[in-house]
Chains A and B, each alone.
Chain A
Amino acid sequence: DAGVIQSPRHEVTEMGQEVTLRCKPISGHNSLFWYRQTMMRGLELLIYFNNNVPIDDSGMPEDRFSAKMPNASFSTLKIQPSEPRDSAVYFCASSLRLAGSYNEQFFGPGTRLTVL
């Protein structure tokens, strides 16, 4: 298996621009998670989906952030408009959710976002 795939790996943009991060989860996994990692705040869960449905988006910082999962093999995290404080590494993770069992999360390599 190719693992969780994220694109782009690096993104540099200017303040005010729209940024779209992409994630392809492991085939067969039914849960997908978006995290943000910064030096100041560590690893934060932004949102997660079960069976393509957003379950908990309480970690999404503000309305400038939105996430979608149109199908089981693709998700996007969009920031519009972007701000310098959004600069971070964004990780996508996926897992197979089964009733009554733990669900190890598998992480992608991350997208390093720099907003100038």
Chain B
Amino acid sequence: AQSVTQLGSHVSVSEGALVLLRCNYSSSVPPYLFWYVQYPNQGLQLLLKYTSAATLVKGINGFEAEFKKSETSFHLTKPSAHMSDAAEYFCAVSDLTGNQFYFGTGTSLTVIP
């Protein structure tokens, strides 16, 4: 069985500060891992994905995430927050077929000017 846990349902950072959104996964097999972003009143958009290639994955809008097997983590980071980064972020894990997607409960990011 697979699952993801997102620590912190709400995160606030100042504009220009480091963004760190935490995600830990549970999986009995090497998983595929994803970060999605949801802007207000919109659907989910893929930020980045890990599919057993490089452990450091770069995504859109300056975001990146590092797969750490020893810590079962896939935390999302961005060196400098921008006001436009304010959104809901979801971590997800899938099995190798990708048919079973398990989403975390989401983290709402607020960027303070």
Q: Which residues of A contact B (CB under 8 A)?
A: 4, 31, 33, 42-43, 45, 48, 50, 55-56, 91, 93, 95, 97, 100-110
Which residue from chain A places its CB closest to the CB of B32 in the assembled complex? A102
Shortest distance from the beta carbon of B44 to any chain A beta carbon, whole Å: 4
A102 touches B43 (CB 8 A): no
Chain B: residues with Cβ within 8 Å of the partner, total of 22
Shortest distance from the beta carbon of B110 to any chain A beta carbon, whole Å: 16
User: Known: A42-B105, A42-B106, A104-B34. Contact between A48 and B99, CB under 8 A?
Assistant: yes
A55 touches B99 (CB 8 A): yes
B98 touches A102 (CB 8 A): yes
Which residue from chain A places its CB closest to the CB of B106 in the assembled complex? A42
B43 touches A43 (CB 8 A): no
